[in-house]
Amino acid sequence: MSELLSAFRYAALPASTQQFRAEVREFLRTSWQPPSPQLRARSWMGFDAGFSRKLAARGWVGVTLPQEYGGASMDAFSRFVLVEEMLAAGAPVAAHWIADRQSGPLINKFGTEAQRRFYLPQICAGEVFFCIGMSEPNAGSDLASVGTRAVKVDGGWKLNGRKVWTTSAQHCRYMIALVRSSGEPADRQKGLSQFIVDLKLPGVTVRPIHDLAGDAHFNEVFFDDVLLADDALIGQEGSGWAQVNAELAFERSGPERIYSSIVLLEHWIGCLRRGGNGAIHCETIGRLATHLATLRHMSIALTTRLVAGESPVVEAALVKDIGTSFEQEIPTLIAAAVAADPAADLDADLLATVFYLTQVAPTFSLRGGTREILRGMIARGLGLR
């Protein structure tokens, strides 16, 4: 059997996560007043620094980071349960999301002891937020062609260039940026490094980008002669490509790649239950339930690999690709159901939520690696290149 396929054997979450799940639900019940479905449908783009701080105070930001740095030393199964409950509810996790999911683990993996001691406790306290510095106007899928440049100067580095599609940059203190630190663009993966950039430094300009749905979570970030200290470098100089791929593995292997449209789906089912008119949609609902159950099994199988200390990069790409197709199908199917009867009364929340998700759904298969890139990665994992 293909090695890639053999990764997807059934596994159950450990029984010990049941208790944790109950605690997370209780936290949500007592610490958060859920807003409308259309706001909750923002999912992990919903920014609420106060919520993140409350979660941090409970000890649940950076749960996989070591306790000695303020984390909870929990395993990937526990993080899976925490994330699943947050996303199922549509809780506003955006503020701490990137730091928790990838920036913190990256610093933990590649950082110096001093960097760990400086950044990780602040992440776990929900005091500082991180954003991702990868894409540029001319470097999207072709990430190795980044042009932002760090030049060595006395006492540090001078940074020039720009990043784009940086979610939440306007609210974040730090960015981990992939930049060229030596050589020429033609060197591609060689000569790249990652820097932790303090966005408050002189020369940094953050400009929000408005999207078609009326939100502004994306940003452009400009660097004009920004002076970085030596200790802004994370990991090895020239190891940026390997490091960013490790970071992407963190980004891609969480359970979130199946839940982006769940708030809409739950709300629609609720409307049908209340209206008593769901019979005609039984097959659609059943099919979506079947797909969700299956994707969840695949995601848990992936999580067992993480817990075993592996880096299931290709497997994560596979789950993300099939997961985002599912996420994108949901608003399409529900909009069709809503449009099936022009005379019917419409739940206003349902209308707003289905339109919001319809408009942003294309981004599900763009962010974190486009569909075409992921399918190429899977092909490589099948031994086809």
Partner 1 sequence: MFAEAIEDILRDHCTPAVVRAIEAGGSPAALWDTLASAGFLELLAPESSGGAGLPLAELFPVFALFGRYAVPVPVAQSIAARALVGEGVQLPAGLLTIAPALQRDAAGGIRCPLVPFGAIADVVLAADGQRLVLLPGAQAQHTPSGIAHSQLASLYWSDPAAAEPMAGDAAALAPMAAAMQAALLAGALTRVFEMTLQYCNERSQFGKSLGRFQAVQHQLSVMAEQVAAASIAAEAAFQDEGRTPRLLPAAMAKARASEAAPGVANTAHALHGAIGVTEEDDLQLFTRRLHEGRMAYGGESYWNRLVGESVLAGTVSLVEFVRAA
Q: Do 319 and 257 meet the contact criterion of CB atoms below 8 Å apart?
A: yes
Q: Is 348 in the site for partner 1 (CB under 8 A)?
A: no
Q: Which stretch binds partner 1 (CB under 8 A): 215-223, 244-252, 270-278, 340-348?
A: 270-278
Q: Does 2 bind partner 1 (CB under 8 A)?
A: yes
Residue choice 213, 313, 322, 352 for contact with partner 1 (CB under 8 A): 322
Among 114, 186, 279, 343, binds partner 1 (CB under 8 A): 279
Catalytic residues: 251
Q: Does 1 bind partner 1 (CB under 8 A)?
A: yes
Residue type at 342 in one-letter notation: P
List 204, 213, 269, 307, residue binding partner 1 (CB under 8 A): 269
Residue 82 binding partner 1, by CB under 8 A = no
Is 372 near partner 1 (CB under 8 A)?
yes
Q: Residue 272, interface with partner 1 (CB under 8 A)?
A: yes
- For partner 1, which residue of 224, 273, 336, 351 counts as binding (CB under 8 A)? 273
Least Å distance, CB 369 to partner 1, is 13
For residue 290, the minimal CB distance to partner 1 (Å) is 4
Structure tokens at 242: 């390997």
Choose the stretch contacting partner 1; rule: CB under 8 A; options: 43-51, 212-220, 261-269, 336-344: 261-269
Instruction: Give whichever of 200 and 385 is closer to partner 1, judged by the CB atom.
Output: 385
Site for partner 1 contains 32 (CB under 8 A): no
Q: Is residue 379 part of the contact set for partner 1 (CB under 8 A)? A: yes
The candidate with the shortest Cα–Cα distance to 234, out of 226, 224, 244, 225, is: 244
The stretch near partner 1 (CB under 8 A) out of 4-12, 128-136, 154-162, 303-311 is 4-12
Burial class of residue 266 (count of CB atoms within 10 Å of its CB; 0-12, 13-18, 19+) = middle
Q: Which residues contact 158 (CB under 8 A, 6 or more apart)?
A: 150, 151, 225, 226, 227, 228
Kindly state the smallest distance separating residue 29's Cβ from partner 1, in Å.
13
Binds partner 1 (CB under 8 A): choice among 153, 216, 282, 336: 282
- Can residue 5 be called a binding residue for partner 1 (CB under 8 A)? yes
Do residues 258 and 321 touch, judged by C-beta distance below 8 A? Answer: no
141 binds partner 1 (CB under 8 A): no
Residue 379 CB, nearest distance to partner 1 (Å)?
Answer: 4
Compute how many residues bind partner 1; rule: CB under 8 A: 50
The site for partner 1 (CB under 8 A) is made up of: 1-2, 4-5, 8-10, 12, 84, 88, 262, 265-266, 269, 272-273, 278-279, 281-298, 301, 318, 321-322, 372, 374-376, 378-379, 382-385
